[in-house]
Structure 1
Amino acid sequence: MATDQSYKKSIETAINNPKLSKALHLFGDAYLIARENAYSGLNFDAMRQELAAIKDDVRIRRKELLAEFIKNAEAAGSIVFVAKDVKEANDYVIKLAEKKGAKLIAKSKSMVSEEAHFNKAMEKAGIRASETDLGEWIVQLAGQRPSHMVMPAIHMFKEEVAELFGKEVGKTLNPEIKTLVDVARERLRQEYFNADIGLTGANFLIANTGGIGLVTNEGNARLCATLPDTHVVFAAIHKLLPTVEDAIKLTRLLPRNATGQLLTSYVTWIKGTVPCDGKTKEQHIVLIDGGREALYESKACQDALRCIQCGACANVCPVYQTVGGHVFGSIYISAIGIILTAFYEGLDKAKELTRACIGCRSCTAVCPSNIDLEEIILHLRTQVTSEYGMGVIKNVAFKAVMKNRGLFHSMVKAASKLQRPVTHPSRTGDEKRVIRHLPMHFMDRDFTQWRDLPSVAETSFRDQFPNIRQSVSDPKYTVGFFVGCGADFVYPEVGTSLIKVLNALNVDVVFPQKQNCCGIPALYSGDTETGVYLAKQNVEAFTEAKVDYIISICPTCTMAIKRDFVERLADHPGWSAKALALSDKTMDASAFLENVLGASEKLGNLSGNGSVTYHDSCHLKRGNNVFKEPRALLGASGYEISEMKNSDRCCGFGGTYSFLSHPQISKQITHDKVEAIQNVNVKTVAMDCPGCMIMLKGAMGKANPNIRCAHTVELMAEALDKK
Structure 2
Amino acid sequence: MNTKEFKEKINEKLNDEIQKKNLTKFYEDYPKARQKAFEGYDFEQLRNSVKNIKQNTVDKLEELADKFQKAVEKNGAVFYRAVSDKDVVDYILKLCKEKDVKLVVKSKSMLSEEVELAQHFKEAGIESQETDLGEWIIQIAKHKPSHMVMPAIHLNRQQVADYFEKQLGKNMKPDIEFLVHTARAELREKFLKADLGISGCNIAAAENGAMFILTNEGNGRLTSSLPKTHIVLVGYEKLVESFEDAIPILRILPRNATAQTLTSYVNIILGPSQAIVEHTDGTFSIEKKELHVILVDHGRIEMARDPIFKELYQCIRCSACTNVCPVYALVGGHVFGNIYTGGIGALLNAFIGSSQTANQIQNLCITCGSCTQVCSGSIDIPNLIIEMRKKNIEKEGLPTIPKVVFQNIMSNRSLFHNMLKLARLGQKSFKNGQFIRNLPLYFSKYTKDRSLPAIADVPFRDIFDTILQKPAKNQEKIAFFSGCLIDFVYPETGEAVVKSLNALGFSVEFPKDQTCCGTPMYLTGDKESAKKVAMQNLEALESIDPDYIVVACPTGVEMWEKYPQFFKDDPKYLQLAQKYKNRIREYSSFVDEQLNKQNIKLNSLKNNGIATYHDSCHLKRVLGIHTQPRDIIAKAFNTNFVEMEHADQCCGMAGSYSLKFPEISKELGDQKHKSIIKSTANLVYVGCPACMLQIKGLIDKKGGNVKVMHIAQLVNEALKENK
TM-score, structure 2 as length reference: 0.96
Q: Which range moves more in the overlay, 542-551 or 231-240?
A: 542-551
Cα deviation, residue 597, structure 1: 4.9
| Deviations 1:70-129 (CA, angstroms, capped at 9, x unpaired) | 111111101110000111011111111111111111100000100010101111112111
Contact 1:198 1:231 in 2 (8 A): yes
AA matched with 2:209: G
1:613–1:261 Cα change, 3 Å: same
The yes-or-no answer on 1:358 pairing with 2:359 is no
- Work out which of the residue numbers 332, 339, 364 in structure 1 matches 2:340: 332
Give the match for residue 504 of structure 2. Answer: 505
Change (3 A) 1:341 1:365: same
Task: Report the CA distance between 1:348 and its aligned residue.
Answer: 2.3
CA apart distance, 1:156: 0.7
Amino acid across the alignment from 1:437:
N
Distance across 2 between alignment mates of 1:283 and 1:601: 71
- 2:684 alignment partner in structure 1: 685
Q: 1:599, 1:633 within 8 Å by CA — same for their partners in 2?
A: no
Question: 2:353 and 2:210 mapped to 1: Cα distance?
Answer: 29
Instruction: Give the aligned partner of residue 138 of structure 1.
Output: 137
Output the amino acid matched with 1:195: A
Alpha-carbon distance in 2 for matches of 1:88, 1:150: 26
- CA–CA distance in 1 between the matches of 2:176 and 2:599? 56
Q: Distance in 2 between matches of 1:501 and 1:23?
A: 47
In structure 2, do the counterparts of structure 1 residues 604 and 702 end up closer, same or farther at CA, with 3 Å as the change threshold? Answer: closer
Match of 2:701 in 1: 702
Cα distance in 2, alignment partners of residues 329 and 574 from structure 1: 43
Q: Could you tell me which amino acid in structure 1 is paired with residue 579 of structure 2?
A: A
CA distance in 1, matches of 2:293, 2:241: 17
What whole-Å deviation, never above 9, does each CA across 1:460-488 have from its counterpart, x for those lacking one?
Answer: 11111111111033324221111111111
Match of 1:119 in 2: 118
The alignment status of 1:437 with 2:434, answered yes or no, reads: no
Residue-by-residue CA offset, 1:256-288 (whole Å, 9 max, x unaligned): 111111222111111012211221111100110
Distance 1:560 1:496 in 2: 22
CA distance in 2, matches of 1:91, 1:18: 41
* Equivalence for 2:200: 201
Q: How far apart are the structure 1 equivalents of 2:27 and 2:598?
A: 34
Question: Aligned match of 1:571 in 569, 572, 577?
Answer: 569
The one-letter code sitting in structure 1 at the alignment partner of 2:702 is A
Of 314-323 and 632-641, more deviation after overlay is shown by 632-641
Distance 1:18 1:566 in 2: 46
Please, which moves more after superposition, 59-68 or 631-640?
631-640
Runs of 5+ in structure 1 lacking a partner?
426-432
472-481 or 198-207, which moves further after superposition?
472-481
Unaligned runs of 5+ in 2: 277-285
Does the residue aligned with 1:214 lie in a helix, a strand or coil? strand
Displacement, 1:600? 9.2
Task: Return the offset for 1:346.
Answer: 4.2
Aligned positions of 1:412-561 closer than 5 A? 412-425=420-433, 433-440=434-441, 442-444=442-444, 446-561=445-560
| 1:587 aligned residue (582, 585, 588) | 585
Is 1:651 aligned to residue 647 of structure 2?
no
Name the CA distance, whole Å, in 2 between partners of 1:713 and 1:190: 68
Separation in 2, partners of 1:506, 1:498: 13
* Matching residue within 310, 313, 316 for 1:308: 316
1:230-245, aligned counterparts within 5 Å?
230-245=229-244
Which deviates further from its counterpart, 689-698 or 638-647? 638-647
**Comparing 590-599 and 642-651, the one that deviates more:** 590-599
In the alignment, what sits opposite 2:355?
347
- Aligned-partner SS, 1:575: helix
Write the distance in 1 (CA, Å) between the matches of 2:565 and 2:322.
Answer: 27
The 1:180–1:346 alpha-carbon spacing in structure 2 relative to 1, beyond 3 Å, is closer
Kindly provide the amino acid, as one letter, of the partner of residue 524 in structure 1: L
Matched residue, 1:428 = none
Query: Is the 8 Å Cα contact of residues 595 and 601 (structure 2) preserved in structure 1?
Result: no
Deviates more, 1:502-511 or 1:143-152: 502-511
| Conserved 8 A contact 1:518-1:560 | yes
Partner of 1:429: none
Q: Is residue 101 from structure 1 mapped to residue 104 from structure 2 by the alignment?
A: no
**Contact between 1:423 and 1:435, CA under 8 Å: does it hold in 2?**
yes
> Is the 2:478–2:547 Cα contact (8 Å) retained in structure 1?
yes
Contact between 1:613 and 1:643, CA under 8 Å: does it hold in 2?
yes
Amino acid at match of 2:309: C
Aligned match of 2:280: none
The C-alpha deviation readout for 1:45-67, integer Å capped at 9, x for no partner, is 22212211111111001111111
Structure 1 position 503, deviation (Å): 1.3
Residue identity opposite 1:356 in structure 2? L
Counterpart AA for 2:412: N
Residue number in structure 2 paired with 1:42:
41
Change (3 A) 1:604 1:614: closer
- Indicate if the aligned counterparts of 1:651 and 1:673 stay in contact, CA closer than 8 A: yes
CA–CA distance in structure 1, aligned partners of residues 677 and 347 of structure 2: 36
1:605: how far off?
6.6
3-state SS of 1:574 partner: helix
After TM superposition, the score normalised by the length of structure 1 is 0.96
Write the letter of the residue equivalent to 1:539.
L
Q: Secondary structure at the match of 2:294?
A: strand
Query: Paired residue for 1:211?
Result: 210
Contact conserved, 2:683 with 2:706, CA < 8 A, in 1?
A: yes
Provide the rounded CA distance (Å) in 2 between the counterparts of 1:10 and 1:326.
9
Of 23-32 and 704-713, more deviation after overlay is shown by: 704-713
Q: CA RMSD in A?
A: 1.5
Shift of 1:255: 1.0
Tell me which residue corresponds to 1:152.
151
1:323 corresponds to which residue?
A: 331
Partners in 2 of 1:637 and 1:477 — Cα distance? 26
CA drift of 1:701 comes to: 0.7
CA distance in 2, matches of 1:588, 1:18: 41
- Asked whether the equivalents of residues 600 and 632 of structure 1 are also in contact (C-alpha less than 8 Å), the reply is no
Q: Does 1:299 align with 2:307?
A: yes
Q: Deviations over 1:304-358 (max 9, x none)?
A: 1210001111111111111110001112110111111111234323222121111
Any idea what SS the aligned residue of 2:450 has?
coil
Q: Compare 531-540 and 103-112 and name the one that shifted more.
A: 531-540
Conserved in 1, the CA contact under 8 Å of 2:229 and 2:290? Answer: yes
Cα displacement string for residues 652-694 of structure 1 (whole angstroms, at most 9, x for unaligned residues): 01101101x2111111111111111111111111110000011
SS of residue in 1 equivalent to 2:637: coil
Q: Which residue of 2 aligns with 1:223?
A: 222
Return 34-43 or 187-196, whichever deviates more: 34-43
Determine helix, strand or coil for the equivalent of 1:501.
helix
Distance, in Å, in 2 between the alignment partners of 1:571 and 1:259 is 46
1:404 maps to what in 2? Answer: 412
One of 601, 604, 607 as aligned partner of 1:606: 604
**Shift of the alpha carbon at 1:456?**
0.4
CA distance in 2, matches of 1:558, 1:627: 15
Residue pair 1:78, 1:273 contacting (<8 A) in 2 also: yes
* Cα deviation, residue 231, structure 1: 1.1
Judge which range, 41-50 or 306-315, deviates more.
41-50
Deviation per residue, 1:554-613 (Å, 9 max, x gap): 000000001x21222223332222211111121211111123552794125736243212
CA distance in 2, matches of 1:561, 1:306: 28
Aligned match of 2:20: 21
**Cα gap change, 1:607 to 1:474, in 2 (>3 Å):** closer
Structure 1 residue aligned with 2:385: 377
C-alpha displacement at 1:722, in angstroms?
6.0
Aligned residues: 711
**In the alignment, is the contact (CA less than 8 A) between 1:601 and 1:636 conserved in 2?**
no
Structure 1 contact 477–506 (Cα < 8 Å) conserved: no
Question: Which residue is equivalent to 1:54?
Answer: 53
